[in-house]
Amino acid sequence: MKIIGIIPARMASTRFPGKPLAKIRGIPMLGHVYYRSKMSGLLDEVYIATCDKEIMDYAESIGASAIITSDSHERASDRAAEAMQKIEIATGKKTDIIVMIQGDEPMIYPSMIDSAIQSIQSEPEIRVVNLMSHLETHEEHEDPNEVKVVVDQQNFALYFSREPIPSRRKGALEVPMFKQVCIIPFRRDFLIQFNSMAPTPLEVIESVDMLRVLEYGYKVKMVMSDQKTYSVDTPDDLEYVDKCMENDLLVRNYIL
């Protein structure tokens, strides 16, 4: 199988402009995501997909493969799909699985990428996989920047929300609190199909791409990760993650 990772990145984040190049431990956040993704044993190559010259220049400075994409994309999946098709034309090779890796996940571990890929490889009927992990606190459960997910007994997603799901209001002593971790393997043809489908009402309301999959009647397989990671949505998140990564063991293995 030909398996590639694509990191969609743009400077014009509404919540945190310039976020991809904001520094953590002295290295741009996008660099952390790229170097850690490159450590995956199952990815044949990792690409950065962007519409911004600043990001292209940074990618070139670290020797990363980068693809320039349209500046009209509103969703990371749209940017990833365009980049994939350009990569196929440039290489003359068709991709089997594309792993979309969000550029605001600087604490990802290569094993997380590999476990997501192994899940989609092992079950031919699965079209798309997401990682999930435990929310540690009620504050995280309430945070609208954290995308929550509830699953069925086979770990297929039932719903994604920025609201705290499932509800704790009825006084349950234990409530399963899971968050989406944005490492998302797609089968190639399903990514193209996904991007040809019109956005759906719940997807727009929640601002969560995976709800489009569910609203059209397809399934999203969720894979549990026990690694503790934090995404960066705000400057406060950046400061927190910078402290969390003070003694990160993977950083010393980056090829700078």
User: What pLDDT, on a 0 to 100 scale, did the predictor assign at position 73?
Assistant: 87
Q: How confident is the model at residue 239 (pLDDT cuts 50, 70, 90)?
A: very high
Q: For residue range 151-174, what is the model confidence (pLDDT) as tens digits?
A: 999 999 999 999 999 998 887 778
Ordered by start, the domain boundaries in the chain are: 3-228
User: What pLDDT, on a 0 to 100 scale, did the predictor assign at position 15?
Assistant: 76
Class of domain 3-228: alpha beta
In the predicted model, what is the mean pLDDT of the chain? 94
Q: How confident is the model at residue 110 (pLDDT cuts 50, 70, 90)?
A: very high
Q: How confident is the model at residue 256 (pLDDT cuts 50, 70, 90)?
A: low
Cβ pair 246, 25 in contact under 8 A = yes
- Cα–Cα distance, 221 to 113 (Å, whole number): 14
Residues in the chain: 256
Termini Cα distance of the chain: 29
Q: How confident is the model at residue 246 (pLDDT cuts 50, 70, 90)?
A: very high
User: What pLDDT, on a 0 to 100 scale, did the predictor assign at position 12?
Assistant: 85
* Average pLDDT score over residue span 43-69: 96
User: What pLDDT, on a 0 to 100 scale, did the predictor assign at position 72?
Assistant: 87
Cβ pair 109, 176 in contact under 8 A = no
pTM surpassing 0.85? Answer: yes
User: What pLDDT, on a 0 to 100 scale, did the predictor assign at position 74?
Assistant: 80
Q: For residue range 169-215, what is the model confidence (pLDDT) as tens digits?
A: 887 778 899 999 989 999 999 999 999 999 999 999 999 999 999 99
User: What pLDDT, on a 0 to 100 scale, did the predictor assign at position 168?
Assistant: 87
* Average pLDDT score over residue span 70-74: 87
Q: How confident is the model at residue 127 (pLDDT cuts 50, 70, 90)?
A: very high
Q: For residue range 82-94, what is the model confidence (pLDDT) as tens digits?
A: 999 999 999 999 9
pLDDT at 75 over 90: no
Residue-wise DSSP of the chain: --EEEEEEE-S--SSSTTGGG-EETTEEHHHHHHHHHHT-SS-SEEEEEES-HHHHHHHHHTT-EEEE--TT--SHHHHHHHHHHHHHHHHS---SEEEEE-TT-TT--HHHHHHHHHHHHH-TT--BEEEEEE--SHHHHH-TTSPEEEE-TTSBEEEEESS-SS--TT--S----EEEESEEEEEHHHHHHHHHSPP-HHHHHHT-THHHHHHTT---EEEE--S------SHHHHHHHHHHTTT-TTGGG---
* Average pLDDT score over residue span 17-21: 94
User: What pLDDT, on a 0 to 100 scale, did the predictor assign at position 173?
Assistant: 72
